[in-house]
Each structure stands twice: as C-alpha cells, then as structure tokens.
Amino acid sequence: MDKIEFLKTIPAINDLSDKTLEKLSAVMERSQAKPGEAIFSEGDPSDNLYIIESGSAIISKRLAAGVEKPLSVSGEKSVIGEMSFFTDRARTANLKAKSDVIYWRIPSKSLKQLAEEEPSSMLKMVEKLLLLTLERLEFTSRE
C-alpha cells in the first residue's frame, strides 16, 4: 500500500483532498520501534504527529519517583501526538512501543504549512484532531 492509500485509511485524515494527501505523503517519514523502545518522551519537543501503521504503543505519564502510569494503548491507524499541531509546548506524555511498531512521523511545521496552503481541506482534519484531543482529555480526567 502506498503512502496516499494508507492515509486514506486513517479516520482523522481521510477527508483531505487528493492534492493535500499528496503533499502530506511527501513529508512523511516511516520508522519503527521494538517493544519497550521510546518513540517520544515527556519533555521532548512537540514537533511531530505520529500515525501507527502496525503494532501497538503505550501512552503513559511520569508520576513522582519515576513511576509511569499507563494512560492508554494505541494501535493500528491511531494518530498520536496531535497536540503538536496546536502547541509548541513540550510533550506531556511518553509513547513506548508495546510490540514491534511501524509508524509514520509527520513534522508539525509541515502540517501547519499545509493548513495555510490548503485551509478548506485541512479544516476537517483540524476538527478531527481537536475532537481526538478532547476525547483523550476527557478519558484521562475520568481516571
């Protein structure tokens, strides 16, 4: 499956125009992580959005005395790190591979540039990312 076809399977992104998907696919970088390997850590710069192609990863929060609290497990087609689109603040959680993970990294600056170039196409994605963020905040606040 090529990058554009893969993006069309991702609910937060599948409403983008073909032109926007093409531009987005040009800046995507594929990577992988082994179980237990950090994809990003709390305090890291929020400079990328991540999409899991295969495998699963654990989102956790560091508590006092180095204890990590698991918040959720994200799997195939999950979009993670969406806060990087909305803010330049440091990461507020950790993302570690639970299994072998193949994921895509999309630079936030490229997403922001696309939002300027293709505002009508990107608006739907922004709405979906915002809803995703709100759902995660709601879930976390219930715990």
**Vertex 45, ends 124 and 106: CA angle to 5°?**
40
Q: Is the pTM of this model over 0.75?
A: yes
Print pLDDT tens along the chain (143 aa): 799 999 999 988 888 889 999 999 999 999 999 999 999 999 999 899 999 999 999 999 888 877 888 988 899 999 988 877 778 889 989 999 999 999 999 998 998 898 899 888 888 887 887 787 777 666 666 66
Cβ burial, residue 48 (10 Å; 0-12/13-18/19+): buried
- DSSP lists the bridge partners of residue 48 as 107
pLDDT at residue number 121: 80
What is the Cβ-side half-sphere exposure of residue 57, based on CA atoms within 13 angstroms? 29
